[in-house]
Amino acid sequence: MTAPATVTAAQVAAGVTDPELPFLTLAELGILREVRETGDGVEVTITPTYSGCPAMDAIRADLLRALHRAGFERAQVRTLLAPAWTTDWISEEGRAKLAAAGIAPPGPAPRRAAGGPVPLTLGIRDEPVDCPLCGAGETERLAAFGATACRELRRCRACREPFEHVKEI
Amino acid sequence: MSFDDAYQALTDHDDDARWAYGTGFADPLAGVPTALPDGVDHADLAAYCLMIGDDALIMSHRLQQWVTRAPELEDEMAIANIGLDLLGQARLLLTRAGEAEGGGRGEDDLAYLRDPQDFRHVRLAERADADFAHLVARLLVFATWRLALLDRLSASGDPVLAAIGAKGVKEVAYHRDYAAGWVVRLGDGTELSHRRMQAAVDAVWPLIGELFEAHPVELRLVGVAVDPSLLRAEFDGVLAEVLRVATLHAPGPGAGPGPSSAGDSSAGDGSAGDGPVRGRDGFHTDELGEILDEMQGLARATPGGVW
């Protein structure tokens, strides 16, 4: 009702940050799929990163809160399950911010031959990941699962520092 | 955009918060179009969602029991993450089951208020792990089977199941690789680790047959459910490859290279019945009772409780 004409609902939603990566916006992370202003209010569409991602409820609440604060009182959040989120949707800006925060951004998501089964990777599926701290290309995986579902733990062989890497999915 | 008060954040936006039920979260299908597909029997669809939802729920609970007991901190994180992925899949599937059933039951009702005989998971999911080798053997079998299943489910005629399948493939591929990595590390490790890993493979083997027995519900839901008997070739190929690299062998007559001699599913449980005894029909071991005592105790003691 009191929305300043200069701020659109899309701008408000795009500025909401991820609860677990607070330097990244939902738009940069690629989980904000659509913002529509209809006669009925604002409808925001998001896509979960992982099935069990515990941040989804916080994200929904944060979106509604931000929209309410900006004057969009009638807003709802729609969840889109398909197509499934992929790290390829993280924007260039988002990747730069991840690296600046010491988290190696993902490479291209794995693709597989149409029709074939998901290939088994025994041990080595180590695409090169550059160290976000010193820039060296020689890094190794310490653990395939990290502090959140979307990250793994790696270590740089040059500067010996451990760091996180957003897994390609 | 964070909340000023973390406790307020947890309860503020959901008047139905019921923390004794362990959630306080919104319906995981909130905002997802959930119309049921035409021409599909709703009771069958509900039963099928329960089957593959219970597989994930019970396996997730067993994984959670390993947290604080894993050999390394990194493995605690891995096991917790895998359990969380499966719990997320379970929440979606139980919610979908409740919708298809049409009786107003939600994920909490289905998880916390059903009795053991009403659970429909395969018995592989409920077995307790004697040691870490047993866990990774069981997880390898479970994830290999479920990955093949979810991959085919992504073409389901039910758009919600198809979406859950497509999402789950990306997750369970990591679960399988994690388990396979440990099976190889232990199998191709020291003499002691090799012996214990082989013992774990031997112990989990009798539970494999049940995974591929099609249930009448699965066969009736043509184009919606996955016929598990079609998953066997892919499963056998992956298991044979992992065991080969791990210098382990499939148990059974002649210790053949493939797991095709899995035998009947009731082996190892001392079941005496004539027909197949399987979790899909609600036949479980006593170990499920232990899981449900722990999982359901608080919710049942304080129905609808909030704190």
Separation in Å, CA of B275 to nearest CA in chain A: 33
Q: What average pLDDT does range B193-202 have in this prediction?
A: 98
Q: Would B135 be classed as within a structural domain? A: yes
* Interchain proximity B85–A147, CB inside 8 Å: no
B73 close to B62: Cβ distance less than 8 angstroms: no
pLDDT given at position B150: 98
Tokens of B211: 């995974």
CB B17 within 8 A of CB B306: yes
Give the helix/strand (H/E) hosting B24: none
Instruction: Report the pLDDT averaged over residues B109-119.
Output: 96
- Does B124 fall in a domain? yes
CATH number for the domain running over A9-79: 3.30.300.130
**What phi and psi, each to the nearest 5 degrees, are found at residue B81?**
-65, -40
Mapped onto helix, strand or coil, the DSSP state of residue A140 is strand
Cβ distance of B163 and A143 shorter than 8 Å: no
Residues of chain B contacting residue A85, judged by C-beta atoms under 8 Å apart: 167
Letter string b/e over residues A102-115, b meaning 16 or more CB atoms within 10 A of that residue's CB: ebbbbbeebeeeee
pLDDT in tens, B297-306: 988 998 877 6
Q: Do A153 and B91 touch (CB under 8 A)?
A: no
Mean pLDDT for the stretch of residues A84-90: 95
Residues of A in contact with B168 (CB under 8 A): 51
A-chain CB neighbours of B9 within 8 Å are 58, 61
- Predicted confidence (pLDDT) at residue A125 exceeds the cutoff of 80: no
CATH of the domain at B66: 1.20.1260.10
Per-residue pLDDT, B270 = 40
Tens-digit pLDDT profile for residues B248-258: 999 975 443 34
Tell me the two tokens of residue B162. Answer: 């198809």
Residue B16 in any domain: the answer is no
Q: Give me the mean pLDDT over the B117-139 stretch.
A: 97
Q: Is residue B230 included in any domain, yes or no?
A: yes
Q: A65 and chain B: CB distance < 8 Å anywhere?
A: yes
Residue type, B151: D
Mean pLDDT across the stretch A90-104?
A: 96
Share of chain A above pLDDT 90, in %: 60
Contact A76 B89 (CB under 8 A): no
d(Cα A101, Cα B222) in Å, to the nearest integer? 49
Would you state the pLDDT for residue A66? 95
Q: Is the pLDDT confidence value at B269 over 80?
A: no
With vertex at residue B64, the alpha carbon angle to CA B58 and CA B67, rounded to the nearest 5 degrees, is: 160
Task: Give residue A7's pLDDT.
Answer: 77
The closest CB to that of B178, out of A78, A144, A153, belongs to A144
Closest CA to B247 of B178, B183, B190, B187: B187
| Contact status of A13 with chain B (Cβ, < 8 Å) | no
**Chain B residues touching A120 at Cβ < 8 A:** 176-177, 180, 238, 241-242
Give the DSSP per-residue string, A66-135.
HHHHTT--SEEEEE--SSPP-GGGS-HHHHHHHHHTTEEPP-SPP---TTSPPPP--S--------TTT-
Residue ranges of domains in chain A: 9-79, 91-110+125-166
Least CB–CB distance from B85: residue in A86, A142, A149 = A149
Domain assignment present for B4: no
pLDDT digits (tens, 9 = 90+) for A25-60: 999 999 999 999 888 899 999 999 888 887 888 899
**pLDDT tens figures, B134-155:** 999 999 999 999 999 999 999 9
Q: In B272-281, which positions are buried (b, 16+ CB within 10 angstroms) versus exposed (e)?
A: eeeebbbbbe
Tell if the CB–CB gap between B151 and A83 is shorter than 8 Å.
no
The domain tally of chain B equals 1
Looking at every residue in chain A, the average pLDDT score rounds to: 89
Domain that holds residue B228: 41-265+283-295
Q: Which of A22, A53, A167 has its CB closest to that of B88?
A: A53
User: pLDDT tens digits, residue range B10-56?
Assistant: 444 444 444 444 445 566 776 676 788 888 999 999 999 999 999 99
Question: How would you classify the pairing of strands A139-143 and A103-104?
Answer: unpaired
Q: Which of A48, A69, A53, A59 lies closest to A25, judged by CA?
A: A59
> Is A51 in Cβ contact with B171 (below 8 Å)?
yes
pLDDT (0 to 100) of residue B29: 74
ipTM summary value: 0.87
Residue A53 CA to residue A48 CA, distance in Å, equals 7
